[in-house]
């Protein structure tokens, strides 16, 4: 079994296992650990997988509860968090309860945040069921919810106790969501690994070759792991992981979440590549290669008019990544090579360049 150890605030394992529910791994890892288990999931994933997970955990003899919420960014809220906490309070969950997040990045972000604050912190295990959550959201400890003022503005750092990555969950994932997850894998290649990007150019990933897919997910996790170990709380190097997200989060908010996270990040990466080009770093040939790989996964390459028409500045000002109301972005020198100067990983973008970029594409 492949596994990766992460040392970021705490130490935990990312375990790669196909057919998790037919293995003894969960039983072995959770034996004698918790007085109760709370599986947090969204309604879609719960209908597919929660009962099987519940049956497995019940073998351990502790009560197992399932708490769900509707899928989608509109439910990634403080209200949802409060409802999940009510379930746990009513079940008299104490500090020795384990939360198990079963779902995509929305579930891991919300369940992780619940676990961060319930009884001032209980352990959380992540079982990501989307590609995006496997390669990105379940690693690194960022948790949180959206508020009307912006995305992920309320949250906490909370490292998971363990992460199980089972590509078999992806067999039920709609293709559009698979493609959405590819964006974060492509992002990891762009900020850190030109060879991984070249591999992505050579072959289109799909479930047809699960071992190859698992290998690429592993490499992507390794890239994120290496960065968050150096800078767990995003004081410097972790800003690289925000490539595409500075603009992407604004696009998501402006679209009222009609545009999926990964798709918004794909557009965000293209705009941040435009910054990189205009500032004299990235050459047009590199941008063409990036667009070609995004196109393979049917990701958007042009901003919808509705997004162009709204002023972005107020959204940027509320973004966590802004400093003194100024916008900072990762800049690429080349594929796999971000521009780093004076120890800075994100660079000032002038309002003029921002306005120009909004009308580009
Ligand atoms: N914490 C982090 O570091 C981090 C990193 C990247 C993204 N995120 C967050 O992740 C979220 C996006 O995550 P996502 O793209 O996984 O979205 P998601 O959680 O909304 O899942 C996408 C959709 O797929 C469905 N689904 C999930 N797994 C399924 C399966 N196996 N079979 C069938 N349907 C399934 C869900 O019900 C949902 O409708 C965003 O809110 C983003 O902010 C967090």
Note if 184 is an active site residue.
Answer: yes
Contacts of 297 (CB under 8 A, 6+ apart): 178, 179, 182, 183, 204
Pairwise CA distance, residues 271 & 247, whole Å:
7
Among 44, 101, 213, the mutation site with the greatest number of ligand 1 atoms within 8 A of its Cβ is: 44
Q: Is 266 in the pocket of ligand 1 (CB under 6 A)?
A: no
Note if 161 is an active site residue.
Answer: no
| 242-253: b (≥16 Cβ within 10 Å) or e | bbbbbbbbbbbb
Please give the model's pTM, rounded to 2 decimal places: 0.97
Domains of the chain: 2-172 (3.40.50.1970), 175-359 (1.20.1090.10)
Q: What Cα–Cα distance (Å) separates residue 151 from each residue in 25, 234, 251, 316, 331?
A: 35, 17, 10, 11, 22
CA dihedral 85, 91, 92, 97 (to 10 degrees): -70
| 113-141: b (≥16 Cβ within 10 Å) or e | bbbbebeeebbbbbbbbbbbbbbbbbbbb
Contacts of 198 (CB under 8 A, 6+ apart): none
pLDDT in tens, the chain (361 residues): 899 999 998 999 999 999 999 999 999 999 999 999 999 999 999 999 999 999 999 999 999 999 999 999 999 999 999 999 999 999 999 999 999 999 999 999 999 999 999 999 999 999 999 999 999 999 999 999 999 988 999 999 999 999 999 999 999 999 999 999 999 999 999 999 999 999 999 999 999 999 999 999 999 999 999 999 999 999 999 999 999 999 999 999 999 999 999 999 999 999 999 999 999 999 999 999 999 999 999 999 999 998 888 888 878 877 767 776 789 999 999 999 999 999 999 999 998 999 899 887 6
Note if 188 is an active site residue.
Answer: no
């Amino acid at each position: 079994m492949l596994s990766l150890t992460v040392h970021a605030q705490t130490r935990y394992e990312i375990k790669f296992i196909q057919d998790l529910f037919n293995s003894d791994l969960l039983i072995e890892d959770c034996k004698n650990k918790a007085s109760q288990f709370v599986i947090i999931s969204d309604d879609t994933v719960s209908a597919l997988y929660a009962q099987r997970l519940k049956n497995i955990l019940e073998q351990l003899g502790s009560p197992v509860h399932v708490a769900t919420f509707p899928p989608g960014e509109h439910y990634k809220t403080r209200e949802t968090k409060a409802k999940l906490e009510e379930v746990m309070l009513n079940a008299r969950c104490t500090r020795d309860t384990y939360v198990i997040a079963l779902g995509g990045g929305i579930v891991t972000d919300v369940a992780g945040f619940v676990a961060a604050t319930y009884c001032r912190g209980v352990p959380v295990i992540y079982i990501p069921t989307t590609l995006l959550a496997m390669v990105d959201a379940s690693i690194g400890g960022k948790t949180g919810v959206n508020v009307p003022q912006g995305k992920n503005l309320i949250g906490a750092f909370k490292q998971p106790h363990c992460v199980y990555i089972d590509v078999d969950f992806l067999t039920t994932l709609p293709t559009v969501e698979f493609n959405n997850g590819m964006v974060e894998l492509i992002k990891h290649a762009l900020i850190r690994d030109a060879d991984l990007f070249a591999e992505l150019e050579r072959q289109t990933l799909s479930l047809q070759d699960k071992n190859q897919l698992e290998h690429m997910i592993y490499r992507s996790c390794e890239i994120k792991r290496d960065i968050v170990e150096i800078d767990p709380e995003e004081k410097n190097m972790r800003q690289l992981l925000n490539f595409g997200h500075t603009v992407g989060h604004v696009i998501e908010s402006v679209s009222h979440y009609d545009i999926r996270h990964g798709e918004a990040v794909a557009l965000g990466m293209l705009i941040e590549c435009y910054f990189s080009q205009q500032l004299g770093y990235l050459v047009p040939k590199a941008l063409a290669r990036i667009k070609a790989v995004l196109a393979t996964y049917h990701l958007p390459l042009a901003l919808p008019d509705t997004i162009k028409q709204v002023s972005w500045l107020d959204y940027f000002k509320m973004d966590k990544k802004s400093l003194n109301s100024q916008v900072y972005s990762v800049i690429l020198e080349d594929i796999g090579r971000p521009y780093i100067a004076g120890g800075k990983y994100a660079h000032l973008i002038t309002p003029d360049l921002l306005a120009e970029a909004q009308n580009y594409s």
